Amino acid sequence: MPVRGSNISISVVIPTFDRSTLLARSLASLPLDADQLSEVIVIDDGSTEEISATVNCFNGRVQLLRQDRLGPGAARNRGWNAASGNYIAFLDSDDVWLPWTLETYLEILHRFNFPSFIVGTGAWFRNDFELTDVRREALEACAFSDYIASARFPIWLGASSMLVKRECAPRFESMNMNAEDLDLALHFGQEPGFVWIQKPFTFGYRRHNSTLVVDLDRTLVGINHLVDEERENHYPGGSERRSERIELITRAVRPPVIEALRQHEWKAGASLYRRTVVWHMLLQRWRFLIAVPFLALASALRKRPR
């Protein structure tokens, strides 16, 4: 059903695992009484903590679903299937919305004729007081025909940055991996209308040692999954849009390859390098192609016992 004007409704889906204190902060950042915020759904992904006490503090304005420990991708999908809003905003339980986030989303939806996929920009922080310096700036956004068309722009993706049209078919990968956000975006590839919000910030992205993105093994699993999906032609766009897709994928490949070498995980780093070397050549990423063997050698020399 087409979305029109005052009919806009947004569901917020929040997966959580043993983060009751941070979850309370995330929920407190949402405008729970706003008419356009149709529901907030928390999915408890097998927590050992008592999450219901945190949710109950919000007087019935937050719905709680429970599942066995299946991972954040599966939890997001559970919330997606339960949501009733026209659009779904994903928020990780350690991140927060900013006071103007909902209003910014609504303005984007009206200005750009209700696109299928919107990605915002995060203000990175470690302590809550750092967000007091974040100010609302004038709206700046780039619109594209679809997500794949944005390939040449270095757009940072995270689940908390995403607002998606609920009726769209793709879902999050349920494997125990990182990079599921890029995988979702690539499967969204040709859904009509993609908007990147450059300003203002639309969420606070909390950096801490327990965040999943610092797990190199999970990241390597996720990036290799992206490579497999592309090789098996599972992403939309066919051969005509292959160069755009591999630009998006290889941009995500380079950091974990370098990090794997830095951590002396040579086999994993070299494998991912070999699997994508032709793609990097097609894109003329000569600096990366030449640098990696030297980085591997330097890492090996540092590892050599004296």
| Residues 156, 282 within the same domain | no
What's residue 121's pLDDT? 97
What are the 10-residue block averages of pLDDT along the chain, 306 residues in total? Answer: 70 96 96 95 94 93 94 92 96 97 97 97 93 96 98 95 90 82 94 98 86 76 96 96 98 95 90 97 95 83 60
In this predicted structure, what is the pLDDT of residue 212? 47
> Do 65 and 198 belong together in one domain?
yes
Residue that finishes a domain, picked among 180, 206, 232 = 206
Q: CB 74: neighbour CB atoms within 10 A? A: 22
Is there a single domain that holds both residue 113 and residue 84? yes
Structural tokens at position 56: 């109950």
Pair 119, 228 in one domain: no
Q: Could you tell me the residue range of the domain that residue 134 belongs to?
A: 5-206
Q: Are 75 and 4 in contact (CB under 8 A)?
A: no
Asked whether residue 228 falls in the same domain as residue 259, the answer is yes
Q: Are residues 160 and 249 in the same domain?
A: no
For residue 89, which of 25, 155, 9, 148 has the smallest C-alpha distance? 9
Residue 4: predicted pLDDT: 57
The counts of H helices and E strands in the chain are: 9, 11
Q: What is the pTM of this model?
A: 0.91
Question: Would you say 104 and 96 are in contact if contact means Cβ atoms under 8 Å apart?
Answer: no
Among 206, 236, 255, the domain boundary falls at 206
pLDDT of amino acid 61: 94
CA distance 131 to 134: 5
Q: Angle 266-282/242-262 helices, nearest 10 degrees?
A: 150
Domain of 94, CATH number, reads 3.90.550.10
Total domains in the fold of the chain:
2
